[in-house]
Structure 1
Amino acid sequence: MTGKTSYDFGGETAFVTGSTDGIGRGIATALAVAGADVAVNARSSGDVETTAEALDARGEGTVIGVAADVGDPDELRSAIETAIDAFGSLTLLVNNAARWPEENSMVEASLDDWDRTMAVNARAQFHATKLVARHMIDEGIEGCIVNHSSQTGDRRAGDRGLYGVSKTTVNGLTWRLANDLAPHGIRVNAVSTDVTESRQLRYEAEIEARERRATTAEVLDEWGGARPLGRLGHPEDIADGVLFLASDKAEYVTGTVLRISGGGNLE
């Protein structure tokens, strides 16, 4: 490694969807530690309150919890309005929330599963970005929006069809919104992840471990070892990418999908 980086987000205000666990919590934590005011989000009011209380002590900014199902347009609008009312403005939106479909096969997936998956993984990112971008434009804020994508969005085959389609959509949204918002000084980028420590990944590892009569730790170690860099991703790895894209060091970066995958994107 060469060089060391630290970030100061004092005075910045962020809304991070799906941020009480896993990658989202890692992003919210990093922003709080860097001094930002942060609104954490999940569907459960208990989860957001507990997370906000824990993260509020991590930095000099204020952390609040805003419960909402981002797949519901009215709840999402209300959540963003709550964050703006609490902080006075939003300078950063991180569209992290996602759901795993019940069936990834494009042949077996139902229309209801399509609707639910796209509502959270794609439509919510579009809707949240529109709402926050309008606020930024009206207030003259040259802010930043970071979407959460996935390596599955780049691949043309594999066993994550419906999820992959939703993330391909996220890539397209990132490019198109970046183009439309650039004249307003608003930058739109995405982070694309591969196998990263999370509740969903551990759940999948537990299933495979039972099938193979292995331990969950053994499965996770194998998955990480298959990456070119030889390990699983950590939420902190993704948070580092988000903080870079939201910082002044990336002021000439927009419309980029930053692949934070340990080389998994090379497959």
Structure 2
Amino acid sequence: MVGYVEFDYSGESAIVTGSTKGIGRGIAEALAEAGANVLVNSRTEGDVTDVAADLNERSDGEVIGVAADMAVPEDIEKLVETAIDTFGEIDLLVNNAAVWPREESLVGASIEDWEFAMDVNVRAQYYASKLAAEHMIEEGIEGSIVNHTSQTGDRRTGDRGFYGVSKTSINGLTWRMAHELAEHGIRMNAVSTDVTETYQLRHEAEMMAEDDPDRKAEDVLDEWGRTRPIGRLGRPEDLANAVMYLASDGASYVVGAVLRVSGGGNLE
């Protein structure tokens, strides 16, 4: 059974964007249970308050929640400033927040659709990384930044238009920014996902099941899992373990890598 691999992050401080559910929640939970100070984030005040309170009960560190819209640069600034003011420093930034645009056609989509997708999925990761890196450089912190990308970003065709373009952009950001940051002892890497058991994936399965009265969402999820070479869907713990590794001393020579945590889905 998949579970969290044991790491010790006592005394370290992390920001995890988009972390009140799904993969982000799993990453924040793993860090909290490893003793880190963690800032959890979403756009909703109630969600961050509830998740921070829950994780605080299981952590030797401090967990706080900050409501911030990653499409708004001023909110990103508030996020980073709050982490620094509360914890004293940032050792790890996990850029997890993202949106899944549902445009049916790149030609038919509006420029507003494009801007929203790129603002949340690309600009926010860059700007949060820039702010965190400036802090790390100024304080002499040899920290780590982990971006969340997707196997969709590797594809040259298929649907997921704006989402795919945004994740291809994150691959490029990871490679190029990692080169610059490494000169300051800061390591930037990325985890690339395929289908993972989350609220969003279940919602998609439910929509597909609505078209066939003989199928349930669980049937759709099982089918998707069986099509992966390893025979199952990904789980938030899979991604959390990958992030914990990339941010650890065990990965001290890993720079600019896109670690594909996909059960072999990226091979198709």
Structure 1 distance, partners of 2:5, 2:217, is: 34
Structure 1 distance, partners of 2:212, 2:154, is: 29
Q: Paired residue for 1:66?
A: 66
Q: 1:46-65 maps to which residues of 2 (within 5 A)?
A: 46-65=46-65
- The alignment covers a number of residue pairs equal to 265
Q: Paired residue for 1:129?
A: 129
Q: Paired residue for 1:266?
A: 267
Amino acid at match of 1:89: E
Q: Paired residue for 2:201?
A: 201
Deviation at 1:104, TM superposition (A): 5.0
Secondary structure of 1:59's counterpart equals coil
Secondary structure of 2:93's counterpart equals strand
Structure 2 distance, partners of 1:165, 1:235, is: 23
Deviation at 1:119, TM superposition (A): 0.4
Structure 2 distance, partners of 1:156, 1:198, is: 25
Structure 2 distance, partners of 1:248, 1:33, is: 18
Deviation at 1:199, TM superposition (A): 1.2
Structure 1 unaligned spans of 5+ = none
What is the percent sequence identity of the aligned residues? Answer: 63
Q: Paired residue for 2:169?
A: 169
Deviation sequence 1:34-70 (CA, Å, 0-9, x none): 0100000000011000000000111211100011001
Deviation at 1:158, TM superposition (A): 1.1
> Do 1:102 and 1:113's aligned partners in 2 also have CA atoms closer than 8 Å?
no
Q: Paired residue for 1:250?
A: 251
Deviation at 1:5, TM superposition (A): 5.1
> Do 2:26 and 2:237's aligned partners in 1 also have CA atoms closer than 8 Å?
yes
Q: 1:99-114 maps to which residues of 2 (within 5 A)?
A: 99-114=99-114
Q: Paired residue for 2:22?
A: 22
Secondary structure of 2:136's counterpart equals helix
Q: Paired residue for 1:120?
A: 120
Q: Paired residue for 1:153?
A: 153
Structure 1 distance, partners of 2:58, 2:97, is: 22
Structure 2 distance, partners of 1:234, 1:60, is: 25
Structure 2 unaligned spans of 5+ = none
Structure 2 distance, partners of 1:233, 1:212, is: 25
TM-score (norm 2): 0.97
Structure 1 ranges of 4+ moved more than 6 A: none
> Do 1:104 and 1:163's aligned partners in 2 also have CA atoms closer than 8 Å?
no
